[in-house]
Amino acid sequence: MKSFLFLSFLFFNSLDPVFSQSNLLESVKKNPGEAINVCNKFRDFNSKGISANSDKAIEYVSKKNNLTPVNAEIFSIYVIGLHCPDII
């Protein structure tokens, strides 16, 4: 019984990143206005020679949306893919 509970715990914990990524994509889809604001900030970064994939841009997204750096990078990819493919 203990091994079943332990394996169940491990299984459900391993699903958390999958659900997190799905939630990030949904948040981008449901908040296009916010995504456009992020696009505009990325355009501002680009005009200064800073890539949207740079540490500075990821830190901006992380702080603005209260995300871990990894989730901020995933969020940025979703925003760029859905709303501003012209961003580099």
Cα–Cα dist 41/20, whole Å: 24
Q: Of all residues in the chain, what percent carry a pLDDT higher than 90?
A: 67
Stated as kind and residue range, the H or E segment containing 55 is helix 55-65
Measured distance CA(3)–CA(55) in Å, rounded: 42
Distance between first and last Cα of the chain: 52
Specify the pLDDT at position 16: 47
Structure tokens at 11: 């299984």
In this prediction the pTM is 0.74
pLDDT digits (tens, 9 = 90+) for 34-76: 999 999 999 999 999 999 999 999 999 999 999 999 999 999 9
**Per-residue confidence (pLDDT) for residue 9, from 0 to 100:** 42
